[in-house]
Structure 1
C-alpha cells in the first residue's frame, strides 16, 4: 500500500522545475509584447514627420504657402469711400522742400562814409566856441588844441586817416550833423574831451605831453 501511494503522489504532484520554465516563458512573452507596443506607438507619432521628411515636395509646399502669405501682406490695396488707391512702388518717392522766402531788401540809406559838404559860412572862433556851449574859461585850452590840429580851418581833412574839422574828429561820421560845420565839430569835441580826459583842461595836459589827443 505504501509504495502505491507514493507513486500516485509523485505522479500527481506538480513538477517544480517545469513550473519555473513556464513562468520564465510567460515573462519573456510579456516583455516582447510591451516592446512591440512601444514601437507601434512611436511609429504612429513619427509618421507625419517621417512623411514630410521623406517627401521634399510637402516641405516646399509649406514654405511656399508661408511666402505667399507674407507677400500678400505687402500687396494690400487701400480704398477710401470706395475709391481704390493705387499701390506706390517702394523707393520711388519725391521730397518737397519749401524754399526759404527771399529777404526783403532794406531801403537804401545814406552811407556813413559819404563825403560831407564843406563849410562855406563865416564866423570867428569865439563865436563858434560860444555857439558850441564851451565855457569861456576853457577857450584857451580849446584854442591851443584846435590851432595845432586844424589851424581853425573848418574844412581841414587828414588824407591818411580821414579825420575832419576843427578838432580832427575820427572818424568824421561820428560827428552828429556835419563834421565840417565848426559848431557841430566843436560840440562833438567837448563831449570827447569830457568823456576821455574829464574836460578841456585834461585834454590840454594830455596833448602837451603826447602831441595828440
Structure 2
C-alpha cells in the first residue's frame, strides 16, 4: 500500500495529526485478552457479549482503516490538482517570457534597420535634390532623373519612419509581455508553494492510512481467532464470513458507486508503477470467470478509458472517486483486498464484480455510462 516518498516512520505522530485522522485504533482501544475469552465461555450470556464486543471492534478497525484511506485519496487528489495548476502556470510564465524576449529582439532588429535607412537618407541629402530640381534647366531628362531620385529619397524616409514606429510598437509589446511574465512567475511561485503543502499533506495522510491498515491487520488476526474460539469455529471461517458481509455492504452502497463523470482526473502521488496496458491485459484474462465473452472487452476498455485512462492512481478531485474503476468512496474496494490503494489487479477485481452485480456486463455498464455520464 505504500505511497511513501522517503522515510516517514519517525514522523508518524505528526503525520496523523496533519492528515486529520486519529491514530491507530490500538492507541485508544482496549482489546480482549485470551483470559477474557476463556472466562466468557463459562456461560452463554457472557459468550454472546464477548462475541458482540469483538464484532464491534472488528467493525471499528475496518471503519477507521477505510476512513483513513479515503482521506489519503482525497489529499492525493488535492495534490494532483495543485500540481496540475502549477504545470499550467509554469507553462504560461515560460510562454510569456519567450514571447517577451522575441518581441524585444524584434524591436532591436527594427530599430537597427530604421537607423540604417536614416543613415542612408542623410547621405542622400534629400533637400539638395529638391533645390536642384527648382534650379534645373528645361532638360526634361535631367528633371525626370531628379524627380526619381527625390521620390526614392522620400520613400527611404517613409520606410525609416515606419520601421521606427514598428520598433517602438515591438518595444511596448515586449515591456507589456515582460510585466505579464513577471506576474505569471509570481503566481507560479505561489502555486509551487501550494503544491508542496498539498504533497506534504498527501504524504501525511498516506502514513495515517498505512498505520490504520497495519493496526487493523495486527489486531484482526487475534480477534478473528478469539471469535472462532468463542463460537467453536475456525478463524478462517469467521474472516471469510466477515469479508462476505463487507463485500455485500459495499456493493449495496451509493448508486453512483462505480464512478463519477469520468473527466478531469489527476494522478495521485503513489509509488507504484502505473501500467494501463498491463491492467487491460489482466482485465481481459478475468472476463471468462464472470461468464463474459471477449466481445465485452471493447466496452470495458471504453468505459475505463473514460473513467480513469486505466490508471490505478487516478483521482477525481471533484468527487474523490479513485482507481481504474473510479470507486466512490474509494475504500469500497477494500472488499476485494487490503492493497486496493496501489494494486491495479485488486481494483479491477472489485470493478468487475461491481459491474456484474449492477449492470450484468461491461457493455451494460458502458450503455449506462453513455446515457447518464456515470455508471
TM-score normalised to structure 1 length: 0.45
Point out the structure with the larger helix share: 2
Of the two structures, which has the highest relative contact order with CA contacts closer than 8 Å and spacing of 6 or more?
2
TM-score normalised to structure 2 length: 0.27
The structure with the largest alpha-carbon Rg is: 1
